[in-house]
Amino acid sequence: MRRLISPLLLAAVLGTAAFFISTRPEAYSALRGDHALEPTRARDVENGKTLFNAGGCASCHAAPDDESRTKLSGGKPLVTPFGIFNPPNISSDTKDGIGQWTEAQFIRAMREGVSPEGKHYYPAFPYTSYRGLSPDDVADLFAYLKTLPAAEGKAPVHDLAFPYSIRQGVGLWKLLYLSGTVIAPDAKQSLEWNQGHYLVETAGHCAECHSPRNALGAIIADKRFSGGPNPEGKGRAPNLTQDTTGLASWSEDDIVTLLKDGFTPDYDSVGGSMSEVVRNTASLSDQDRQAMAIYLKSLAPIAGEARAPK
């Protein structure tokens, strides 16, 4: 029995050590290799504001009672099958927010999902999409956040079921699913298409809600944009592709109208979490909304479980 236990114990120790070594943030950074990208130009606060609105930062991080949507002390809990995620304070408060963060720390958090303390963030924070942002744009967003008021208040810790409560396990998830780099323009497409592609796929992180996911919570690549679980836990987010269950019958102008006013082609209005999205996209320029519509109309048709509204 002793001869059997010793090898098993050794294997368990070695296996545990291998897990913790391979799932450290440093292991992911070494594998992907582009974490060292740095900004190359002066900060553009107005561009940062655009990205703030496109990304809907206020929807998750603004205090629920804050009509100005600039008190970024943390928003409503996000209830998921994995547990409850509580959006953190991202104001410039030096105690509870990100007031002591460096620009480099913010860029790493946004593109790699790693905290200044060297811990993994859960992908409820959609760095899987933000990874496509350029370091210059992330730096612009950081510059804009610093113009907003400091707000006290620390979010409660996440309430997650086992084994999702083991944060180190996110490192394994990243090795499996966190890939890609800065989205580069496609020379075969128009300037408007490229702008829409960039906004939809990165800051807008539209695929995060409008795509089905596997058992580990990763987007199913070949079903991207075909509709996904509603982040509020009821129903599903609709199909955004050009399938008949999606936006095939919508015009570019229909999409622009929804992004600006929240009205569908049948003059119905969106509700739930989508109403928050519209509150953000309504703050974008007409040019940005048009670009997003052009890109969405280019998505190949994929059958989805949830239909887009008529």
- pLDDT score of 287: 97
- pLDDT score of 304: 80
Considering only CA atoms, which of 278, 307, 296, 117 is closest in space to residue 198?
296
- pLDDT score of 100: 96
- pLDDT score of 166: 86
Q: Provide the Cα torsion 108, 45, 285, 282; round to 10°.
A: 70
- pLDDT score of 64: 84
φ and ψ of 237, to 5 deg: -75, 140
- pLDDT score of 111: 92
Mean pLDDT, consecutive 10-residue stretches, the chain (310 aa), reads 54 50 60 70 96 93 84 88 92 95 95 93 94 96 96 91 87 88 94 98 95 91 90 79 94 96 88 86 96 97 75
- pLDDT score of 66: 76
The model's pTM: 0.88
Considering only CA atoms, which of 277, 271, 232 is closest in space to residue 53?
277
